[in-house]
């Protein structure tokens, strides 16, 4: 049975990808998005963070193009500053596909969206997860970061897709890769892509040496 459509405000941002099962802190300073936060708090506290497409600068004040898949989240913490700006913390709930932008009298944009579910892997993802864990260990050692820094993201007992999402959000720097992973519903493909990207990152960090 298909998930019912949602009507949610969108927060378009450059180079930000919001994954389910992650936390995203945001500083909200534009007037239209301050209003969006106020309205969201009065409704169901939900909004969708979506990545702007290249070339957005020319129409940023209006309705620049955004990617079709976004991250839906709930505002779990909100601090209103003396300036009228907000610091908010979002907890990722699900991927959503933006189906239709709705006419609205608000300063911000409203869309009809549909939740997207993971497609379970057809094969064994354990080898790819082992590659992810090994690469994360190497990265933390190379960057002289605490060895337990990614323990929550890598913890046993989580679904493979959740591990991939949390590691991608925490470690992968390339915005295009993160967006591609957000749009990848096949868990097997997502885990493999994260494993490959991490191994590439390790090689780059080591100057191309194995």
Examine the domain organization and report whether 16 and 89 are in the same domain. yes
Q: Of the residues 116, 148, 172, which one is the last residue of a structural domain?
A: 116
DSSP of 117-134, one letter per residue?
PPBPPSS--HHHHHHHHH
Per-residue pLDDT, 133:
96
Q: Are 13 and 56 in contact, with CB atoms under 8 Å apart? A: no
Per-residue pLDDT, 205:
83
* Residue corresponding to tokens 């959000």: 169
Whether 121 maps to a domain, the answer reads no
Examine the domain organization and report whether 20 and 53 are in the same domain. yes
134-144 core/surface letters (b: 16 or more CB in 10 A; e: else): ebbebbbeeee
Per-residue pLDDT, 210:
43
Q: Can you give the residue range of the structural domain that contains 34?
A: 5-116
Per-residue pLDDT, 121:
87
DSSP annotation of 65: -
Predicted model pTM: 0.90
DSSP of 25-53, one letter per residue?
EEEE-SHHHHHHHHHHHHTTSEEEEEEBP
Kindly report the backbone phi and psi dihedral angles of residue 103, in degrees, each rounded to the nearest multiple of 5, phi listed first: -65, 140
18-44 core/surface letters (b: 16 or more CB in 10 A; e: else): bbbbbebebebeeeebbebbeebeeee
Whether 210 maps to a domain, the answer reads no
Non-local CB neighbours of 39 within 8 Å, separated by 6+ positions: 9, 106
Whether 81 maps to a domain, the answer reads yes
Examine the domain organization and report whether 23 and 110 are in the same domain. yes
One pLDDT digit (tens) per residue for the chain, 210 residues? 456 689 999 999 998 999 999 999 999 999 999 999 999 999 999 999 999 998 766 566 678 899 999 999 999 999 999 999 999 999 999 999 999 999 988 889 999 999 999 998 888 999 999 999 999 999 999 888 899 999 999 999 999 999 999 999 999 999 999 999 999 999 999 999 999 999 999 998 877 544
Query: What gap in Å lies between CA 208 and CA 38, rounded to an integer?
Result: 48
Query: What gap in Å lies between CA 14 and CA 30, rounded to an integer?
Result: 14
Query: What gap in Å lies between CA 12 and CA 50, rounded to an integer?
Result: 5
Per-residue pLDDT, 15:
86
Per-residue pLDDT, 1:
46
Examine the domain organization and report whether 15 and 70 are in the same domain. yes
Count of domains observed in the chain: 2
Q: Of the residues 116, 146, 166, which one is the last residue of a structural domain?
A: 116
Whether 13 maps to a domain, the answer reads yes
Non-local CB neighbours of 152 within 8 Å, separated by 6+ positions: 166
Examine the domain organization and report whether 101 and 152 are in the same domain. no
Per-residue pLDDT, 108:
93
Examine the domain organization and report whether 99 and 145 are in the same domain. no
Query: What gap in Å lies between CA 206 and CA 164, rounded to an integer?
Result: 23
């Amino acid at each position: 049975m298909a998930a019912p459509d949602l009507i949610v405000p969108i927060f378009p941002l450059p180079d930000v990808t919001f994954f389910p099962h992650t936390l995203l802190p945001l500083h909200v300073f534009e007037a239209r998005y301050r209003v969006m936060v106020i309205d969201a708090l009065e409704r169901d506290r939900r909004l969708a963070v979506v990545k702007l497409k290249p070339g957005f600068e020319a129409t940023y004040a209006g309705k620049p193009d955004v990617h079709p898949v976004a991250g839906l989240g709930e505002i779990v913490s909100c601090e209103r500053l003396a300036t009228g700006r907000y610091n908010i913390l979002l907890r990722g709930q699900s991927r959503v596909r933006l189906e239709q932008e709705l006419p609205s009298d608000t300063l911000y944009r409203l869309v009809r969206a549909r939740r997207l579910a993971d497609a379970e892997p057809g094969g064994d993802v354990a080898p790819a997860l082992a590659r992810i864990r090994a690469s994360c260990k190497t990265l933390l050692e190379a960057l002289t970061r605490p060895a337990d820094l990614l323990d929550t993201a890598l913890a046993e007992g989580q679904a493979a897709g959740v591990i991939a999402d949390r590691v991608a959000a925490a470690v992968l720097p390339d915005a295009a890769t993160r967006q591609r992973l957000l749009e990848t519903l096949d868990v097997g493909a997502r885990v493999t892509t994260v494993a490959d990207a991490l191994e590439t990152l390790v090689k780059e960090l080591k100057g191309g040496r194995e």
